[in-house]
Structure 1
């Protein structure tokens, strides 16, 4: 396992430090001896690289005026491009310039402030006059090292705190903690520290302890409070609306955990992995009794794409249902289905002979298999937000073969669930995104925040390119389209390729694992890249392996309280990053293909592939593992966290494992007892649903009865 910059002060999960004023022991960072050859091409401006070289020359000669002048010019003209801050890690140029300035000597900082303070002062006065957040954001993005940068960080942190964006508040306030003489003499540009704030540091540190507490990290908050009392026993200030001794105020607040109301992502599964952070835990374990109802999913043309998945199945468990109120929805390439999860009847109907198909309204469509060969695993996801369902429909092919004769387009559709009983509100076809005769494809289902939705775009020619685009959730109109990276095509041009990339949304920031050598963070407002990390990509070209759902997974990043976990499918590494900065917290090689990041609790990260693993989320150390070495007993579908347990599906049974301690609580036999098979698990109310390759099965709470006596919807109703 490799830890980079482990000695840097980060206010995250458990490596709490007060900059280096209160310092925990950290592992020695390991140095990368040589830079790997990156598999992606990024928008790095050569002019910036040359000008940065000039800045370093001026700094070595202590020509502060010239160094500052060039930095301001670089930031103003090239601020949105990327700069290689360290091997394998890129920052936005404007952010890197501010980080670099923070390490300048006071006389150089004074020169910079003389030039930018008038502009920063104007923005700050606009914010105080009621112009909202944007003037403060302008300061933090363009003039953070001005005399008003610390005030902007402080006010933005207060706004984030009031809005419940605790991780954002932490990242803003953390930047106000200055470095001390005990830090490394070489300033590290990977993380920003405002060097000379006149704000009361103990008061800021006390707020950071409250962030830990209200994030539910009670033991960590207690530890931090103990360290704070030792360092600042007499410090006074204002905290949570009260004036007084800060240690006493903290002790009073921390003594009452009942005042903490954690974000609720434990109710309905609204998207893949349940929540847009890709981290979901149901409040209560499901009650599994008899098979209550079963819905046979017709085989459609797109599910014939793959020729030889494992265990003789022609299709994988590639359906990922979502739940809204009393209904469950799922889709394949052609149709969106809606069922009442209590009865198994079509949504909004008591007639078992009515059609459960919500989209398309016309039940017939002429579809043909592609002319050229196809590799990859088709998977189907959707997202529910604001009473609407958003799904990616059409051909699952995302990288079209160069000489493919069939138009392989994809659609993004929006259905009204709350007001229109599944009525189509709008549809965007990838054919509309044509650019110089090269067509984009939508990847997986979008994530949604407010009135905006975000989705990954992909194309295979003239180069393999991955973008992230933002659309209006109300109309489907494009707002911005941001290029992330280019890559070499890993399979020959005459083959169609299926992928299904999903974004992760955490604290109003977007995260994307491209599965081709890069992981990126983007701003939801304007699409600007916050940071981008590259890693050694394993070039997978074996068609059978790429088409085997036991060899590949659907693994978007998982966000939890400021930490981003990633398991790229083109790498054998499992990684954890500080989500705000992109700094690597830890990474470790993995013995088998990770197919699911199932969830993260306060102390444990749950990962599955052939077997199920529980890791210490702070270090990546494996605490426990369970499963079989026999391929017939490997994991089969996506499990779920519920209560204190993880429900993990195999092909013929479900294992119920204690999430923190890893002991096996129960085995639920599917095939022998119910005649069912494993698949992707969904909790709806107190019922457990299993989406297997060809069937959606609901287990009720009644006594156990044979599966063949359970209620069923006739396949004849699907027309």
Structure 2
């Protein structure tokens, strides 16, 4: 309502009721204050509202002085004093952060940080080029320790002693052996991507060199496999000899002077690609081995001879190897903890559904970011917020309805309810208690008691070893300052575990609740045999303190009084690592709802914070490996011509693919890729390009598939947009809307990508093809939904079942046990 319209209405009403003018005036002035206050509140964001950089724990003066002293001592050849100063810095504040020099791939505003302990290790490793005599002295000090740790590993075969060498004696003569053995350890555990990441750190010649980067435009330090399509096959040998003729200076985290024959490592890289069934990459790496090490002999798979010849036989036979079995589970959001899951049974059409299950429709009428604008790939009147999982014969879905949080288990063949668990959401004070129900209501009440709020509720689950885990209760993660101190434990979300083999019985040790009203859980945990890992937020006035926490399994005592509203079983905290303090859009004035998920691959945890940083941590110790701070976007809510699309990204955890971590933060207008072990920038899309991309679907071949209103093919070798559907030029304010427009999260199945819209699911190849004017999508078909009374939504596939999850129902379709002939 415009102010002039309101004033005219107020005057007319006062004229009609003169006998109550005084009382009416008081009442209406109060109403006017509410209405105009809302308008003034909106005007706060008419001008740009910039979010400042996240505040992190940078190196203190004492440690910085030690590092500066080391530089001076090296300049005057005082080797012993220089090494002592570097080690003192690491001992003083090992976990504080040191800013790294910007790389050529790093756009303005991006900043990479290493802990002081890692900075010290890298500086000592650089002595191989800068002061070899100093490195000799250092090795005399640490080589005996490293040798003992190496021997300790070879006895029980656990990786911790090897990791200790990397953390405490990286420049020792045994550190390259530790890298080789760690790669072998992870390959044996069917983690070829993580194995490759370790092997590539053995020498700067095992990744893209500066000469190769100049020729291919692929960043130095990237995997060689990315250069495959940049070089003609008949030029492979010439190319490899040219770009490896000189050993480059080692990048941080890369061993400087290995004595391991590189042919042994290159052979392992070929094996890793074969295990991944990436035959083009294996052939390219084999060509490198042939060009640089044609005569090196060894034993692989019981065969002894030239490594290149043995591996050539494996590559030739690999085309006949059986493919991996179809996935029978989809245990977490995006299919796995690396957030790059894919289906296995392609389809050209859909049969009649097996069953349909109603879901409570969720709206975002009072959500601030979406006020007056479309939500990319979503519907504000029927949000695509539900992301069910599949665990063998069960479909599990998490919803909010009737003042409760519910988890429902459905039989995947019949849709009948196996069991349902319900936890009250106490903050919904206006919703009366009701009897437990077997089906949700038509409309979700998760936002019912929120007047205005940033963000919307999303619903995810995680299953691990027969237990399903969820965040249950209030979706608020950043309560406003006027209410945060009044919250009881029952008013906040808690973590729960339910036994899938015992009709959803709560597991001992749950719930785990925040220790006070200032703390909250950001989303569903990721779970391994080591424990539960979750992002936590601590409200600090108008700022948000961000932590990653690890809890032991079965760690909370049973409540003394199950109805005690402020009982706080906090679990057994294994570790909790502080990341940063950040300003948020709510600024302590307005409730915030968020659902940030961690990613986990091997023992590495990855954090897309949505609060100014990406970080990697060791899941066993909680120690930070690296942190990359990015420039935060400016928020405008009143200017409809300025896009706030990136702020709608609320379920974009880091996507881990091979040696890269792909990031699409909710407060940054770029999609970018970082090296998983070093955090180095590999590439970044131009600002605002693909700003509507809400979902990172996965990587197939050379392309990242990302979707929002549009579907995008992004070249992971160079970080360029290769193609999109539909045609157009999204990326600047005022662009025409996509037509058709994406709706929900799509899915990669084999070499096809499935892009849902309101009326259809469009099928494309995961690789675009070259057209007259550049790369264009390869369409494979269209599954029309509207003619059958369906609409687009989130897609999930496991085994021979496909789930289509709209804002109002979950629909299960049967799939053939083998793909159609036309799709093979």
How far is the alpha carbon of 1:83 from its aligned partner?
A: 1.9
What does the per-residue CA deviation read over 1:466-498, in whole Å, with 9 as the maximum and x for residues that have no partner? 111112244453211111221123333220011
User: Which one is further off, 609-618 or 484-493?
Assistant: 484-493
Distance between the aligned counterparts of 1:490 and 1:271, measured in 2?
28
Q: Is the 8 A contact 1:397 1:498 kept in 2?
A: yes
Q: Which of 415, 418, 422 is the equivalent residue of 1:359?
A: 422
1:470 corresponding residue in structure 2: 550
Q: Normalized against structure 1, the TM-score is what?
A: 0.83
* Bigger shift: residues 120-129 or 387-396: 120-129
Matches within 5 A, 1:279-428: 279-286=340-347, 288-298=350-360, 306=367, 310=374, 313-333=380-400, 334-347=405-418, 357-360=420-423, 364=435, 369-370=448-449, 373-404=452-483, 407=487, 408-417=491-500, 419-426=501-508
Write the distance in 1 (CA, Å) between the matches of 2:720 and 2:450.
47
Question: Structure 1 residue 272 and structure 2 residue 352: aligned?
Answer: no
Question: What's 1:712 paired with?
Answer: none
Change in 2 beyond 3 A, CA 1:363/1:70: farther
Q: Give the distance between the partners of 2:621 and 2:322, measured in 1 at CA.
A: 31
SS at match of 1:255: helix
Q: How much has 1:591 moved relative to structure 2?
A: 4.0
Q: Distance in 2 between matches of 1:262 and 1:429?
A: 41
Alignment correspondent of 1:455: 534
Q: Cα deviation per residue 1:58-97 (whole Å; 9 max; x = unaligned)?
A: 1222221111111122223433332222341112322222
- What are the superposed Cα offsets for residues 488-542 of structure 1, whole Å, 9 maximum, x if unpaired? 2333322001111011112331111112221111111111111111111113363
CA contact (8 A) 1:390 1:415 kept: yes
Give the structure 1 partner of residue 124 of structure 2. 101
Partner of residue 621, structure 2: 526
Q: Quick one: which of 518, 523, 531 aligns to 1:439? A: 518
- 1:611 is matched with which residue? 710
What CA distance in whole angstroms lies between the structure 2 residues aligned with 1:690 and 1:550? 25
Stretch deviating more after TM superposition (228-237 or 588-597): 228-237
Shift of 1:191: 3.6
TM-score using structure 2 length = 0.73
1:163 alignment partner in structure 2: 189
SS in structure 1 of the partner of residue 100 of structure 2: strand
Tell me which residue corresponds to 1:643: 750
Query: C-alpha offsets along residues 545-585 of structure 1, whole Å, 9 cap, x if unaligned?
Result: 99989944521111122221111121121112221211111
**What residue is the counterpart of 2:246 in the other structure?**
182
Q: Within 5 Å, give how 1:208-227 maps onto structure 2.
A: 208-227=269-288
Cα distance, 1:214–1:581 mapped onto 2, change above 3 Å? same
**Aligned with residue 740 of structure 2, among 633, 656, 661:** 633
Q: Deviations over 1:348-404 (max 9, x none)?
A: xxxxxxxx5233499649999546632212111111111111111111111110002
Mapping 1:15-34, distance limit 5 Å: none
Q: Tell me the equivalent position of 2:114.
A: 91
Match for residue 686 of structure 1 among 800, 804, 812: 800
Q: Is the 8 A contact 1:75 1:97 kept in 2?
A: yes
2:123 matches 1:40: no
**2:274 maps to 1:194:** no
CA distance in structure 2 between the partners assigned to 1:85 and 1:487 by the alignment? 21
Match of 1:75 in 2: 90
The 8 Å contact of residues 756 and 793 in structure 2, kept in 1 or not, is answered as: yes
Q: Could you tell me how far 1:275 is from its partner in structure 2?
A: 1.6
Task: Report the counterpart of residue 55 of structure 1 in structure 2.
Answer: 70
Distance 2:448 2:147 in 1: 62
- Calculate the aligned-residue CA RMSD, in Å: 3.1
| Map of 2:635 onto structure 1 | 540
Please, which moves more after superposition, 598-607 or 455-464?
455-464
- Given the alignment of the two structures, is residue 126 of structure 1 paired with residue 152 of structure 2, yes or no? yes
- Whole-Å separation in 1 of the counterparts to 2:446 and 2:275: 53
1:574 corresponds, among 659, 671, 683, to 671
Contact 2:648–2:666, Cα closer than 8 Å, also in 1 = no
* 1:41-72 deviation line (CA, Å, top 9, x unaligned): 11222132222111111122222111111112
CA contact (8 A) 2:670 2:691 kept: no
**Residues 384/265 of structure 1: CA separation in 2 closer, same or farther (3 Å cut):** farther
Moved more, 419-428 or 573-582: 419-428
SS at match of 2:458: coil
Determine if the alignment matches structure 1 residue 503 to structure 2 residue 598: yes
After TM superposition, give the deviation of residue 295 of structure 1 in Å: 1.7
Residues 264/505 of structure 1: CA separation in 2 closer, same or farther (3 Å cut): farther
Identify if the C-alpha distance between structure 1 residues 667 and 165 changes in structure 2 by more than 3 Å, giving closer, same or farther.
Answer: closer
> Which is worse superposed, 303-312 or 334-343?
303-312
Cα distance in structure 2, aligned partners of 1:526 and 1:54: 30
CA 1:251 to 1:552, structure 2 compared with 1: closer, same or farther past 3 Å?
Answer: closer
User: 1:273/1:380 Cα in 2 relative to 1: closer, same or farther (>3 Å)?
Assistant: same
Query: Is residue 404–residue 494 contact of structure 1 (8 Å, CA) maintained in 2?
Result: no
Corresponding position of 1:25: none
Is the Cα–Cα contact under 8 Å of residues 400 and 459 in structure 1 kept in the other structure?
Answer: no
Counterpart Cα distance in 2 of 1:440 and 1:543: 31
- The alpha-carbon deviation at position 189 of structure 1 amounts to 4.7
Report the Cα distance in structure 2 between the residues aligned to 1:53 and 1:146, rounded to whole angstroms.
23
Q: Which structure shows the higher helix fraction?
A: 2
1:452 offset after TM fit, Å? 1.6
Q: Contact 2:361 / 2:808 at 8 angstroms: preserved in 1?
A: yes
Name the structure 2 match of 1:236: 297
Q: Matched residue of 1:683: which SS?
A: strand
The secondary structure found in structure 2 opposite 1:466 is: strand
**Is 1:696 aligned to 2:810, yes or no?**
yes
State whether residues 83 and 90 of structure 1, in contact with CA within 8 Å, keep that contact through their aligned partners in structure 2: yes
1:241–1:642 Cα change, 3 Å: same
Structure 1 residue aligned with 2:778: 663
| Structure 2 runs not aligned, ≥5 long | 1-49, 103-110, 206-243, 425-432, 437-444, 556-570, 728-735, 769-776, 817-824
The structural deviation recorded for 1:445 is 1.2
**Which is higher, the Rg of structure 1 or of structure 2?**
2
Which residue number in structure 2 is paired with residue 585 of structure 1? Answer: 682
The answer to whether the 8 Å contact 2:114/2:627 transfers is yes
Deviations for 1:430-461, whole angstroms, at most 9, x for unmatched residues?
75422xxx521111211122242211112332
Alignment CA distance shift 1:544-1:90 (3 Å): same
Q: Is the CA contact (8 Å cut-off) linking 1:332 and 1:393 kept in structure 2? A: no
SS in 1 for 2:383: coil
3-state SS of the aligned residue for 1:276?
coil
Residue 654 of structure 2 corresponds to residue 557 of structure 1: yes
Aligned to 1:706: none
- Uncovered stretches (5+) of structure 1, i.e. residues with no partner: 1-35, 348-355, 703-719
Offset of residue 698 of structure 1: 2.7
Structure 1 residues 493 and 299, CA gap change in structure 2 (3 angstroms): same
Q: Is 1:247 the counterpart of 2:327 in the alignment?
A: no
Deviations 1:577-597 (A, max 9, x none): 221211111111214321001
Task: Classify 1:51/1:570 alpha carbon distance in 2 versus 1 (closer, same or farther; 3 Å).
Answer: same
